Amino acid sequence: MNGRIREEYRELAGFTFDKEQSNETFWYNLAVSFHKGANILCHHEAHILVFLFNAALSIELLFKAIVVANKNKIRFEHNLLKLAKDAEISFSDNQEKTLEFLSEILIWKGRYPTPTNAKIWKNFQDKVLEKHIIRERNGIVGVTRANPETFPSPRNYDVYEVLWNIANKKWSEIQMKKQNSVKY
């Protein structure tokens, strides 16, 4: 069977690129699956990047589901701050820092030991990651730790879960409006 005939069959079945790309339920269900994966990983001894990648991807997919549900075109990128804006969701400064960090996880840190160039590496280390570090000194003893208000981790799952809940609430509001508009 040639490609043209397969394409005609897909058209007849309604299985087209445009239809799948605008299927808000598919985007949402995939987001929920990665959210469940992140939840499972936070309770097991997986590498933190595996948890973070699943958490970040769940947020990205949820933002895109919201954009599609609002009948807008999705942006095919991983910058969660831009995607949050597209989804018309506001976050606090600390939450935006977390989204910036999770964007880096999606773009490269969750998959590769280094990015494609040293400039991106330096930006992550010196600007993005540094926003999540608390450095304290008590006499001659220095302590460095992750900021519990911005750094998502299995031990600090709530930082991620709050982001998920804010976006999921937006999703639910859109769905409720749709159901109410159908009733009347």
Q: Burial, 180: exposed, middle or buried (Cβ in 10 Å; 0-12, 13-18, 19+)? A: exposed
Query: H-type helices in the chain, by residue range?
Result: 3-13, 17-21, 24-42, 48-69, 80-86, 93-104, 118-123, 157-183
Percent of all residues in the chain with a pLDDT value above 90, rounded to a whole number: 79
Asked whether residue 14 carries a pLDDT value surpassing 90, the answer given is no
Average pLDDT taken over every residue of the chain: 93
pTM of the full structure:
0.91
Domain holding 20, by residue range, is: 3-183
Helix (H, G, I), strand (E, B) or coil at 180: helix
**Tokens describing residue 82:** 């831009």
Number of domains the chain is built from:
1
* pLDDT attached to residue 141: 94
